[in-house]
Structures are given as structure tokens and as C-alpha cells.
Amino acid sequence: MVIGFGWGGWQLGSNAQLMADQRTNSAVVAALAPICVDRFQHAAEAKTTLAALKATDSWKQDSFVADGGWATFAGNDSTRNVAEACAKMLNQLK
């Protein structure tokens, strides 16, 4: 029965919920990260702030973006993930 259950593609509800939550979080991050980048670019002193971001250690860049408020959205619990994706996108800018 165990082989048929896993092999047949069936899943427990808890596993399905976990997968759905992960996909939802990924979709939210993908939608909000470009908005974060736009906010960052339209902020005062954007060029100077971008240089400061790039000078920051890569593992601290998500905190830099989150602390700046560019990745904060009402009703969103994924601020840290959005900030990380935003920082990666900002690092690709010239």
C-alpha cells in the first residue's frame, strides 16, 4: 500500500499544503521583487544607495533592502524573501 500511495502520485494533505504554500510564496516574491526594484530606483539618492548596496556583503544585502523599506508591502509576510530577490535584481543593474 505504501508503494502504491507514493508511486501512484498521491500525497498526504499536509504535503500538498506545504507544496501549495511554497508555490504561493514563490509567486508573491516574483510579483513583488520588481516593484521593490522600482521603489529603490525612484527613491532619493538612488545611485548612491545602489553603490552602498553593492558595497555591502552579499549575505547582508537582503537586510539592507528590508531595512530601507523598499521590500515592505501591506499584508505580505515574505518581506525577507522579497528583499533577497530585490537585492539580486539590483545587483544586476549597472
Q: Looking at this protein, which amino acid is placed at residue 70?
A: W
Question: Do 13 and 47 meet the contact criterion of CB atoms below 8 Å apart?
Answer: no
Residue pointed to by grid coordinates 530601507? 68
Q: pTM of the full predicted structure?
A: 0.79
Task: For 7-46, write each residue's pLDDT tens digit.
Answer: 556 666 778 788 888 898 899 999 999 999 999 999 999 9
